[in-house]
Amino acid sequence: MKKLLISTTACSVLAMTGCAQLGTYAHFGTKAHKNAATDSIIISETATDAPLISPVSQRQSPAQSHLEDASGSPTALMQKPDMRLAVPIIETVDYTDDGAFGINLPSDPNSDSKPSLKQRLQTTFAPKETAASRDDEAYESSTNVNTNGETFVIEPFSIPPIVSADCPESFDFNGIAYGETQQTYTLADVEQLALGNHPAIAAASATHSKAAGLRAQVGTRPNPTLGYFGQQMADRNTDQHGIFVEQEFVRGNKLKLNREVLGHTTRAQAMETETQRHRVLTDVRVRFFEALAAQQSLEATRRFSLVAKRGVEVAEDRERAEEGTLIETLQAQTLLSEIQLAAEQAEFAYQGAWRDLAAIAGIHATTPANLVAELNPSGVAPDWESTYASIFSQSPELSVARAIVCEKQALLRRQQVQYIPNITGQLGAGYDVGTDNGMINLQVTAPIPVWNKNQGNISAAYADYVRATQEVKRIEQSIRSRLARTAQEFESALAAVRKYEDEILPQAQKSLDLSEEAYRAGELEFLQVLIVRRSFYEASIRLIDAKGRLAGASAKVDGLLLTGGLDSPTDYTDGDGIRGASFGGQ
């Protein structure tokens, strides 16, 4: 590694470790030869005044030069505008025994009139209170800068971690932060929006109000009838005139039974509203965790794409310096293409998950928002029989079914008294012109239940009651079936999370640390480090996916296994027809 050409390795290392961020940039304008006495590479400075624009910083460099090897042949160090290699002018490079190297900088004759390079370096390397700078603490602590004719030492290579739990920002493919400009939602925010805006909940609530109104209506007594009568009006001086009042008296306690039937219907509609609320909340939570997992996967993939890009740059530099091969460059480019494709697919998955969440919650947003939550669900599998018993006792879905059973029971009792005839009474009072006297009429009528005793409706009501009881059993079995599927999802995801957190990810992290140590010692190629990093990245993505599935399964259990928030709520009311049947006795 001591014979590594400065034309590629030094520049690549400086670019990888952050020197491309310096305030002043320059091409090498030097001649390089090895000093056998000091075991260093001597670089003679021949900088020019041509400006250099860095594609990363978009700032001009004050100098441009060419590097010549020991034989005197020029080597174009910066041939392509996107190499992103811009370093300060270097006088000598000394290698240390631990694999680091020292860079001797020439003194600045105009140090009194402008900031020294040391000041610019210290400004550039000043730590910032961001998650990204915290990830680079290892790099900053290992960098020693002294530019007054002395040496600053930089580790050969340092890359920030692929996945950082403390990083609040996400990056696009050019490394531009966009997290600060996005609207941020927590799970509580989305739940509040969903409960306030969801049409299915509003529809269920309206149906409950409808049932309450019908209950009040079906118990009201019939209105009396007020009329006028006139008789013998064609006979002179014999006509009779009067008024009458008619009232139907409902027998068999029909109106009270009507209120009882609709009372159970109203209770069923109230529980249907609660059921719909649970459905919406469960869907929101499941979609939220899906979108959160997609967001974290996208951020991890974008960060790794930056690492893959750096790998391509290093491979191209090594190939130009004849230290690497075209095969290595192609491998690095293939890896970058695959990661960029994965990032595009992760972007599509995130946007789709966000749109799904926005549709469920009623959020009108054109761009995805930044979701904030901890994707760390409970890591303990519950006792599923106890869970089933808890759901069985709390489920509003079962409460609806039981209320319908009570409704059908009351309706059966109501149909059994339908045949009891009502009595209609009429009372009239008038004046007889012929006799010059007043008169009073009284009339009472009632149907005789000879042929119609409501046998068919009683039979139908009993069938409805049987159906309602079987519906309760069906829902109980459905809950057990849904719980079995959810338990399988939960346990499968929990096993994956435990395996990745306890074994796979620590092993991948240890392999990554060892590979970077081997790379710094010159025992491992950079492409091999990238492969190890890719394994760590893939393990991290799988862990995020497993945590998302575990959180979704846990949300289903917390939501009493009720899903389908956008399904239309059920209307159990049948109108006020039962009140009309209460009159007439037929």
Task: Please check whether residue 266 lies inside any domain of the structure.
Answer: yes
Say what the alpha-carbon torsion angle 227, 228, 231, 236 is, to the nearest 10 degrees: 180
**Same domain, yes or no, for 137 and 200?**
no
Note the pLDDT of residue 35. Answer: 44
Note the pLDDT of residue 413. Answer: 97
Distance CA 586, CA 584 (A): 5
Note the pLDDT of residue 160. Answer: 41
Quote the crossing angle between the two packed helices 396-416 and 455-499, to the nearest 10°: 170
Mark which of 135, 154, 173 sits at the end of a domain. Answer: 154
**Same domain, yes or no, for 104 and 211?**
no
Say what the alpha-carbon torsion angle 359, 364, 368, 372 is, to the nearest 10 degrees: -80
Contact criterion met (CB below 8 Å) for 434 and 237: yes
**Same domain, yes or no, for 211 and 308?**
yes
- Which residues are 576's β-sheet partners? 574
- Which residues are 445's β-sheet partners? 424
Other beta carbons within 10 angstroms of residue 507's beta carbon come to 14
What tokens were used for 432?
């007889």
Contact criterion met (CB below 8 Å) for 369 and 350: no
Distance CA 574, CA 571 (A): 8
**Same domain, yes or no, for 133 and 192?**
no
Distance CA 172, CA 178 (A): 7
Distance CA 157, CA 468 (A): 72
Query: What is the DSSP code (8-state) at residue 180?
Result: G
Task: Please check whether residue 166 lies inside any domain of the structure.
Answer: no
What tokens were used for 467?
């159906």
Note the pLDDT of residue 17. Answer: 40
Distance CA 218, CA 562 (A): 33
Task: Please check whether residue 408 lies inside any domain of the structure.
Answer: yes
Task: Please check whether residue 531 lies inside any domain of the structure.
Answer: yes
Nearest alpha carbon to residue 289 among 553, 59, 501: 553
Mark which of 107, 131, 154 sits at the end of a domain. Answer: 154
**Same domain, yes or no, for 122 and 213?**
no
Task: Please check whether residue 491 lies inside any domain of the structure.
Answer: yes
Q: Which amino acid is at 342?
A: A
SS3 534: helix
Note the pLDDT of residue 526. Answer: 75
Distance CA 113, CA 527 (A): 45
**Same domain, yes or no, for 447 and 519?**
yes
**Same domain, yes or no, for 441 and 535?**
yes
pLDDT digits (tens, 9 = 90+) for 537-565: 999 999 999 999 999 999 999 999 999 99
SS3 185: strand
Number of residues written out for the chain: 586
Relative to beta strand 240-249, strand 225-231 is: antiparallel
Note the pLDDT of residue 338. Answer: 94
**Same domain, yes or no, for 118 and 201?**
no
Cα dihedral 201, 206, 209, 210 sign: negative
What tokens were used for 275?
């059921």
Note the pLDDT of residue 122. Answer: 40
Note the pLDDT of residue 585. Answer: 67
Number of compact structural domains in the chain:
2
Tokens 């996107």: give the residue: 82
Task: Please check whether residue 214 lies inside any domain of the structure.
Answer: yes
- Which residues are 231's β-sheet partners? 240
Task: Please check whether residue 160 lies inside any domain of the structure.
Answer: no
Task: Please check whether residue 168 lies inside any domain of the structure.
Answer: no
Q: Measured in Å, how far apart are the chain's first and last C-alpha atoms?
A: 105
Element (H, E) at 67: strand 67-68
Parent domain of 306: 186-581
Element (H, E) at 151: strand 151-154
Query: What is the DSSP code (8-state) at residue 63?
Result: B
**Same domain, yes or no, for 76 and 198?**
no
pLDDT digits (tens, 9 = 90+) for 156-207: 334 344 333 333 333 333 333 344 456 899 999 999 999 998 999 999 999 9
The rounded average pLDDT for each run of 10 residues, N- to C-terminus, in the chain (586 residues) is 38 39 37 42 39 35 37 37 35 44 43 43 38 41 41 38 37 37 87 94 97 96 94 82 95 95 98 97 97 96 92 87 85 92 96 95 88 81 94 97 98 95 94 88 92 94 98 97 97 95 94 89 81 92 96 95 95 90 79
**Same domain, yes or no, for 101 and 191?**
no
**Same domain, yes or no, for 255 and 389?**
yes
Other beta carbons within 10 angstroms of residue 168's beta carbon come to 14
How would DSSP label each residue in 186-205? EHHHHHHHHHHH-HHHHHHH
Contact criterion met (CB below 8 Å) for 439 and 431: yes
Distance CA 401, CA 419 (A): 29
Contact criterion met (CB below 8 Å) for 551 and 545: no
**Same domain, yes or no, for 448 and 533?**
yes
Non-local (6+) Cβ contacts of 21 within 8 A are: 56, 57, 124
Distance CA 477, CA 480 (A): 5
Note the pLDDT of residue 486. Answer: 97
Q: What is the CATH number of the domain that holds 446?
A: 1.20.1600.10
